[in-house]
Structure 1
Amino acid sequence: MKATQLEEHLSRIDLFHDMSDKAIRRLIGSGREVLHEDGHRVIGEGSDLAMAFHVVLDGHGVVTSAGVERRIIGPGDSFGEISLIDGEPRSATVIAQGPLRTFAIPREPFVLLLDDHPEIARGLLLVLCRRLRQAEASMAGS
């Protein structure tokens, strides 16, 4: 994807839509696009080091935890932030379901991004709260 297309794409994602064009360009300079083939394990629960935060650009992935499918992710969704924030092992596995293209931001630039743009941190808190509520509702229904 061309840089201008990526800039437009990322600026439409909830986490980044409040960022300036300059900040989006800085974000793009900090990360890279990655294409994952169908069935590829993008991140693995428990054993993988937290190397990057991912934003789904195209395609879908399945998120599992303890061997149970938790959700399907698609364009605009993100994953990998929990381990980058707390330094603990990955809490879930993400497997590409068909071709999956993500924008990956390594740990250091991600942490700096959160420091420089608190609106992203607020957005991540909302995402994490939504996931926690879904997990609690799922456990209550079990």
Structure 2
Amino acid sequence: MGDDQSFDFSILERIGAPFRHFDAGEKIFLEEDAANAMYMVRSGRVDVITYGTVLENVRSGGIFGEMALIDDEPRSAAAIASEPTEVVAIDKPTFLAVVRDDPQFALMVMSLLAIRLRRMNKQI
């Protein structure tokens, strides 16, 4: 998911998912933090970083931190707002509610995971 795919944020607003604002340079989460939600960028840009390397720039409509919904492990990377950014936090109950409302959302998340896994495989 990224700039080329649109997402109807009204679904998240309707079910009361919390929106959060971050200033440029502000941390959203750090590596090894406890994880209980994924995030979707409503506006701005987020850098996903590990060991000082930017793994991905996530823009409006993009998601990050989705592994939190799959395993209960600590964060494997950090997420930092690279410009003024608004995100929506999506915990497991919210994710399930969105999927009930828009089943394609689950496929978009799985597609993103597959893309990221394929990219990592090429780097090995």
TM-score over 0.5 for the pair: yes
Q: Which has the larger Rg?
A: 1
**More deviation in 124-133 or 81-90?**
81-90
* Secondary structure of 2:117's aligned partner: helix
Specify which of 11, 17, 40 is matched with residue 55 of structure 1. Answer: 40
The TM-score, its normalising length taken from structure 1, stands at: 0.71
- The structure with the greater share of residues assigned to helix is 1
Matched, 1:35 2:21: yes
Distance 1:13 1:86, change over 3 A: farther
Shift of 1:76: 1.2
Structure 1 runs not aligned, ≥5 long: 1-11, 18-23
Aligned-residue Cα RMSD (Å) equals: 2.4
Q: Distance in 1 between matches of 2:23 and 2:64?
A: 17
Q: Which has the higher contact order (CA 8 A, sep 6+)?
A: 2
* Secondary structure of 2:35's aligned partner: coil
Once superposed, which parts of structure 1, at least 4 consecutive aligned residues long, lie more than 6 Å away? none
The TM-score, its normalising length taken from structure 2, stands at: 0.80
Q: Which amino acid aligns with 2:28?
A: V
Deviations 1:44-101 (A, max 9, x none): 122x222322111111111112332111111111112111221111121110112111
